[in-house]
Amino acid sequence: MPAKRDYYEVLGVARDAGPPDIKRAYRKMAMQFHPDRNPGDPEAEERFKEAAEAFEVLNDPEKRRLYDQFGHEGPSRAGFSGFSGADEIFSHFGDLFGDLFENLGFGGRRAGGPQRGGDIKVELHLGLGDVVEGGDHDIVVPRRDRCGDCGGTGAATGTSPETCRQCGGNGQVIHRQGFFTLQTTCPVCRGEGKLIVHPCGGCSGTGVVARESTITVAVPAGVDDGQTLRIQGRGHPGGRGGPPGNLYVVIRVDADDRFVRDGFDVHSRAKVTMLQAALGCKVTVATLEGEETLDIEAGAQPGYTITRRGKGIPVLGGRGRGDHHVHLEVVVPEDLSDEHEELLREIAEERGEEVAAPAKGFLGFGRRRKKKG
């Protein structure tokens, strides 16, 4: 199997090209290599598929970032694994260009034939612990399903859809204007080629009903907020025997007050008193694996950082983990007793350090202090 070409090379754009340039380049190539303009030319069809895949990646900011960083394997981390077949490619193509190519006569391949089902997008909320562990999660997906009463035909029991007389069942009507031949969707049957004369009561003639289904999603460890998982074939059912759409699961990672995520690293804070920082101590901190006791060296300064190597977020699709950085926060006591204040002043005097004079209250009386004991 030949190696994939660089996506920027496929579309003929620079690596810093903006979205308008990328879309313009794709439109040009799609027009040039569309199979309906090049019947029986397998090379043109491959070029068309290649351009569609390149556009799908470069037009999406997250997929493009992963492609620029990791090459062709990168977009799979955002749920993209290429197009699985012609139906998916033409659905993607139609979504971008609408009815333009059908009106120009390039849509005969799809008119009246199988139609790919619509995609579904849902959100999955995870905690930071779920991100570290990965694993299976159940989600409830609202989707359209074939009506059980009519089997998806939309016609009442004992009846069947009738052929549209306007288009003769083709779903398309042809208009000739001088040298031009325009092919448009039939306005009577809306491209279906058939009409429901006696609609099914269970689905009101649509052939589908709304249902909720529970789907188990395998979430890889290390996912980040906003990333999308693509589950092929779990979207809405297709029409006229077409394949189902895809399910896109958008990951939402809930904030955790204990940690700040930075890529695959995490940062947290540990509070100690100024005496603990000066003399050294042990402090219990929250980690991604639970609580752990760390040793603080004597003389540690505010901002002192302990780096726990390999204790951060797992690297998505790779090996190893990021780091956990614990930043020391030194807390100065505000409720010194008179005795403690006197001791600190003696220490400061011995060290030759200038400190503020004792605070005085109203009319020269000393401020109220906490008494020892």
pLDDT of 45 higher than 90: no
Distance CA 53, CA 92 (A): 10
The CATH architecture to which 117-161+196-253 belongs is Sandwich (2.60)
Q: Residue 354 pLDDT more than 80?
A: yes
139 touches 79 (CB < 8 A): no
pLDDT of residue 80: 57
Q: What is the mean pLDDT of residues 141-163?
A: 85
pLDDT 10s digits, 269-292 = 999 999 999 999 999 999 999 999
- pLDDT category at 82 given cuts 50, 70, 90 is low
From CA 175, how far away is CA 372, in angstroms rounded? 99
Distance CA 250, CA 237 (A): 21
259 close to 267: Cβ distance less than 8 angstroms: yes
Domains 117-161+196-253 and 256-332 share a fold: yes
Residue 107 pLDDT class (50, 70, 90 cuts): very low
Q: Which fold has domain 1-111?
A: Helix Hairpins (1.10.287)
Structural domain spans, the chain: 1-111, 117-161+196-253, 256-332, 337-373
Mean pLDDT for 138-159 is: 86
CA distance 341 to 367: 12
Q: Provide the token pair at 97.
A: 């260009």
Tokens representing residue 91 in the block: 């659905």
Has residue 103 got a pLDDT over 50? no
What would be the CATH architecture of the domain defined by 256-332?
Sandwich (2.60)
The model's pLDDT over 158-169, given as tens digits with 9 standing for 90+, comes to 888 889 988 888
